[in-house]
Each structure stands twice: as structure tokens, then as C-alpha cells.
Amino acid sequence: MTKFDDLFTEVDEDSETREKRENHPKIADGKLYKEVSQLTGYSQREVTEICTQLFELIVLEVFQVGNRVNFRNFGTFWQKKTKSNNNNLVKINHTRAKDPISIKANGVNYSLTFRMSKNIRQRISSIRRKD
């Protein structure tokens, strides 16, 4: 279990949301780590650890510190308030607290939001044009 798993866990998920997620084609993260490993020469274990730490750092920086995280020529991650669906609760485990704290602030949850940069959008549109 990673720090990220301890920090945020969703209690309930809308069945429509679950169905949409399950019907999309997926690629396993292990396959991506393997490809990065082959391209860089680092072991797959090292690549997995680096990526896991990077993702955890992004989430901690956005949710605990409240900063936006910007990767030049890639995109920006930030925290966005969203209205709760079916009164979903978000549990936050604080390191000093003995019990997890459930937060439900007037039906408002927070989500990790990503907006891709212009460069990425242009690259995607050029790839789609070729197909």
C-alpha cells in the first residue's frame, strides 16, 4: 500500500461511472513501465519506483500543500472542487490521527484535475489526422 492509498480512498462509486470506466480500453501500468525500462536502460523495478514516487509527490503537493504542479510541455495538475455524487465520502488518514477522518463539506469533494499543454494537444491532433 502506498502513501497515496492511505491518503484518499473513495467509499462509494456511482454505477454509471463504474460502467463507463470498465468499457474503455485499458493499458496496464506494468506495460508502460516495461517500455520505459527498455528505452532508458533502467530496470523495470527502478522505473516503477520512480513513477510511483512521482505520482505520490504530485498528489501530496496538490492536496496537502494546495499548489498546482506544472510540467512544461506536458500539462498541469491541480485540485478542483466537485459536487458530491450520492453523498460520496472521502476518507483522509492523517499521520498523527488514530482514526481516519471522513470529510463531507456541504456535498463538496475535491478531485485531481489535469489539463494538457498546447504542445501535447497539437501532437495528439496530428496523430489523429494521420489515422
Long-range contacts of 99-104 (CB under 8 A, 24+ apart): 102/11
What per-residue confidence (pLDDT) applies to 9?
44
Q: In what side-by-side order are the strands of the sheet with 90-92?
A: 9-10, 90-92, 101-103
What per-residue confidence (pLDDT) applies to 33?
93
Chain segment 22-41, per-residue pLDDT in tens: 676 777 888 999 999 999 99
Q: What is the mean pLDDT of residues 104-127?
A: 82
Question: Which residue ranges form the domains of the chain, and what is each CATH number?
Answer: 3-130 (4.10.520.10)
The partner residues of 10 in beta bridges, in order of sequence, read 90
Neighbour tally for 69: CB within 10 Å: 18
Chain segment 49-93, per-residue pLDDT in tens: 999 999 999 999 998 888 999 999 999 999 988 766 554 454 544
What per-residue confidence (pLDDT) applies to 131?
66
CB 59 within 8 A of CB 7: yes
Q: Kindly state the greatest CA–CA separation across the chain.
A: 55
Alpha carbon distance 43, 41 (integer Å): 7
Q: Give the model's confidence band at 6: pLDDT under 50 very low, under 70 low, under 90 confident, else very high.
A: very low
What per-residue confidence (pLDDT) applies to 11?
43
Which grid coordinates belong to 120? Answer: 501535447
